[in-house]
Structure formats: structure tokens, C-alpha cells
Structure 1
Amino acid sequence: SAKIRQAALEGIKNALASKMLYEFVLERRMTLTDSIERCLKKGKSDEQRAAAALASVLCIQLGPGIESEEVLKTLGPILKKIICDGTASIQARQTCATCFGVCSFIATDDITELYSTLECLENIFTKSYLKEKNTNVCSTPNTVLHISSLLSWTLLLTICPINEVKKKLEMHFHKLPSLLSSDDVNMRIAAGESLALLFELARGMDS
């Protein structure tokens, strides 16, 4: 049943999160990836969240390299589909956005894929940007998804080539501060962290 699958996913995730088990995971990565894939495709919200959380830990255990790249190649398109699916639960989309960021950070070996991932995440969190007529950013049920997307996007910026970082700076530097006026404290924190990183990256380009 779904509850049993969810419990199994969470149990494995908790075990892998508490101890490095590289050899164990390496031998079973295909089985784990297949199970995660099935749960992401066919599961409901809680099962999808558990599967995405396990996918993150799986990539962390495997570390950068061909094995985690294969995991991302299999799961990346499914994660992206869920993130962009307006009919999926917000909680599942939020967890998938975090997972997509973490897995891409560890495993992306294709610059085109990295740019595509950044664009996917941008399309989500920029929906929170201040509209011209408003003075405050009001939170919505989607705000948690926007926060996770923003944080994943910020993480991935740190592995971008400098010319791409420049482009992103030009695109977002004047719009991101509007999120500091959000009525959601977590959005304000995420926006502050993202701006701080952008400042650091900009300073690095100048030096």
C-alpha cells in the first residue's frame, strides 16, 4: 500500500541520512532509482515527497560522478514535470524543487541541462516578484514552492560559469529585493540569502 511504500522510503532515507553507506548504495543504486522513479510517477503527494527526499540523499551518498549523473538523468525529467505541474500538490512540488536543486548541484555534468534547470526554477519563483502596482509581496499557498525554487536556483548559481552568472545578475538584481517586502518571513530570509550570494558573486567578478 501507499503507506507502506512511504514508510519504506522514509526509513531508507533516514538510514542514508545518518551514515555514509557508499558501497551499500552503489550496489543497489539501480534498484533504489527504479523504486524512486515509480513512486514519483505513480504516488500521491506524501509518497512523492518521500521519494524526492530519498533521491536527494541517494545523490549525496553517491557524490559527484557517473553514478549520480545516471540517477539525475533518470529522475530529473520526472522531478521537473512535477515541479511544473499545477495540478500536483504544492508540498510535493516544493520537495521536488529542493531535490532537483540538490541532485543537479551534485550530479549535473551538462551545462545545457544546468541552464535548463535554472530556467525551470526561475519560472516558478519569479511569480512571487512584486507586480508593478503593488507595494507588498503577499504570500499565497504557492509561496513555499517559490521559496524552495529560489533556494535551489541560488545553490545552482554557485556552479555556473561567470558569463551566465552575469546574465542572471542583470536579470534578477533589481527584482529580487522586492521579495524582502514579502509578508512571509521564510521568503524574506530566502531572498536575503539569495541577494547576499549575488553580492558575493558580483564582488568576485569585480576583483
Structure 2
Amino acid sequence: MGKSQRRKAGGDQFDSSDADSVSSISTGLLELANDTECLNSQEFELEKYIDDLYEKRGSTREKALSGLVDAFEGHVLFKFVENKFITLLNQYINSIKRGSTKEACLASRAIGLLAITVGAENNAHEIMEESVSHLSQALISGSDARKKSSVLDCLAVVTFVGANDLAETEISLKAMWQVIYPKSGPNVGLVKKLPSTVLAVAISAWSFLLTTISGWRINPDNWKESVAFLFTLLEDNDRSVRVAAGEAIALFFELGILDLHWSDHIDIDSLNHEVLKHGMLPYMQSMKAKILAKANDLSVEAGGKGTDKKKSQ
């Protein structure tokens, strides 16, 4: 009778362990099925968004772009875009060219996220090559401040991720500089004064790209105009513009453009003799002294003095 009870107890113990194992496997399979269903559902939704980008109704495209932006911000969708990035890019560019301000802003953000997702490889370079000319055209073809700001940010990101050399980076830097300093562009008479909000964004985007040129040889003469104009912006009425200009000028110090006598990035012997003959070196040294004096004045404002507290609240 004791043996019978022990057998029964052993049988119960075995059955319980076996049931736990089955339950664990079932739970794992259920979770896997749920994950698979979730992935399939997400991919179906993303494909639907892509289809909606072809719709004529602007509100439908805006909704699709918003959904895609949210998806790319919440997940790493590398596998999804691996063979679709050109299709997405073309539709995003179309939205910038023909869409409303909201649609263009969403599309600009979407292009930046697309470039970041594919990474610093050939695909990112292709995104940059395909989009830079369209983004540059969008900067000069319209006057909407929100659209310009979004396109500037987009241009900075795609160039930062996709550019392979200084020449490619300089194309985007030039397009941005023509927004910052319209007199440097071809359509001087057609350009209206830039709103302070856009000017600050443009300078910040330009400075962001400027950080990438430190590994390449720099000819300081190419930056005389930039240094001089940014210096004038240190007196601008808008604080955000003054801050952006100050940060850009700080980069010139960091890159050694204002310190020609010691910069490792500059080969004095290789500089054009005409440049030296016209006093580029004394000019830069003079600008450096003026900037340092102005920076000392602005340091008071940076500490909170000289600002309108009502405006900052």
C-alpha cells in the first residue's frame, strides 16, 4: 500500500513538471506568434502609408507622413527601408515640392530620419545626392518660415550622414549660406529679409555641418565673408541670432581659421600669394581681436543680464 502511494505521488510529481514544461512552451509560442503578428501588422501599416503618399488629397499624404515619422522615431526600420528607401525618398521630395507647409515639414523630417536609418553607407550617400538639389531649390523658391527651417535641418542631416568629402559638404554649406547672407546668392534683388527665427536655424544648421570639415585642409580666404557677416550679427536685435552667430564664430576659433600662424589645418606656404599680399592674415587677426572684445561684452548677457525677463518667460 505504501508502494502504491509512492507511485501515485511520483506520478503526480511527474505530471506536474510535465504540465509546467508544456505551459512554458505554449507561452513562448504564444509570445512568438504575438510578436510575429505585431511585426506583420506594422509592416502592413507602413506599406499602407507608402501607398497613401501617392494620393492626390493632401490631407491623406500628411497623415501618411505623420505615421511614417512616428514609426521611424519609435523603431529602427533598417530591414524595411533596405529596398524601399529610394521609393520613400522620391515621394518625400514630391511632398516638399508640391505639398502644404505642414506636408513639406513632415517630409523634410522624414528624409532626415530615412538618412539616419540607412546609416553612413552608400545608401545614405545616394539619399544625399538625390535630395540636395531639391532641398536647395526649396530654400530659395518659397518664403514660408516653417518650411525653410525644416528644409535647413533636413539638408544638414542628409549631408552630415551622406557626404564623403569636403566638396560635397561645401555644396550644402553654400546653399545654407545663401539663406543666411542673401547677397552671396544669384537672386539678391528677389530675396526678402529673413525672419530671425529662420536666420537662427540657418546659422545653427550651417555650423552643424561646419564641424565636419576639421579633417580637411582649409583655405582661410574662403571664410572672410562668413567671419565678417557673422560678426555683424553679434549686434542683432534677436538673442537667438546672436547666440547662433556666436556659436558659429566659436567654431572658427576651434578650427583654427582665425589663428593662421599656428593652425595645423593650414599650410601657409600653399596659400595663394595674392591672398597674403592683400592682407588676409592681418585682417583675420584684426577680426579675432574684435570678436574677443565683443565676446567679453556678450558674456554678461549670457549670464542672464541684459535680457528681457518678460520675453524669456
Q: TM-score, normalised by structure 1?
A: 0.83
Aligned amino acid, residue 21 of structure 1 = L
Task: Name the residue aligned to 2:105.
Answer: 49
Q: Which runs of 4+ in 1 moved over 4 A?
A: none
Work out the CA distance in 2 between the residues paired with 1:92 and 1:100: 12
Task: Name the residue aligned to 1:103.
Answer: 158
Larger radius of gyration: 2
Most deviating of 192-201 and 42-51? 192-201
Structure 2 stretches of 5 or more lacking a match?
1-56, 184-192, 265-313
- The reply to whether residue 163 of structure 1 matches residue 217 of structure 2 is yes
CA contact (8 A) 1:6 1:50 kept: yes
Deviation at residue 7 of structure 1 after TM alignment: 2.1
Deviation at residue 127 of structure 1 after TM alignment: 4.5
Match runs of 1:110-121 below 5 Å: 111-121=166-176
Work out the CA distance in 2 between the residues paired with 1:72 and 1:173: 27
Task: Name the residue aligned to 1:5.
Answer: 61
* 2:237 partner SS: coil
* 2:224 partner SS: helix
Q: Compared with structure 1, are the counterparts of its residues 51 and 174 closer, same or farther at alpha carbon in structure 2 (3 Å cutoff)?
A: same
CA contact (8 A) 2:176 2:202 kept: yes
Match runs of 1:142-157 below 5 Å: 142-157=195-210
Work out the CA distance in 1 between the residues paired with 2:219 and 2:161: 18
CA contact (8 A) 1:12 1:54 kept: yes
Q: Which of 263, 272, 287 is the matching residue for 1:206?
A: 263
Work out the CA distance in 1 between the residues paired with 2:72 and 2:243: 29
CA contact (8 A) 1:127 1:146 kept: no
Task: Name the residue aligned to 1:191.
Answer: 245
* 2:234 partner SS: helix
Aligned pair count? 195
Listed one character per residue, the Cα deviations across residues 29-80 of structure 1 (whole Å, up to 9, x for unaligned) are 1221122022122212111111011101111111111111111222211111
Q: Which of 181, 186, 190 is the matching residue for 1:126?
A: 181
Q: TM-score, normalised by structure 2?
A: 0.56
Aligned amino acid, residue 263 of structure 2 = D
- The reply to whether residue 79 of structure 1 matches residue 132 of structure 2 is no
Most deviating of 185-194 and 59-68? 185-194
CA contact (8 A) 1:157 1:165 kept: no
Listed one character per residue, the Cα deviations across residues 134-173 of structure 1 (whole Å, up to 9, x for unaligned) are xxxxxx6532222222122112222225433634443322
Listed one character per residue, the Cα deviations across residues 81-120 of structure 1 (whole Å, up to 9, x for unaligned) are 01011x3422112211111111111101254332222111
* 1:164 partner SS: coil
Aligned amino acid, residue 188 of structure 1 = R
Percent sequence identity is 22
Structure 1 stretches of 5 or more lacking a match?
129-139
Aligned amino acid, residue 154 of structure 2 = C
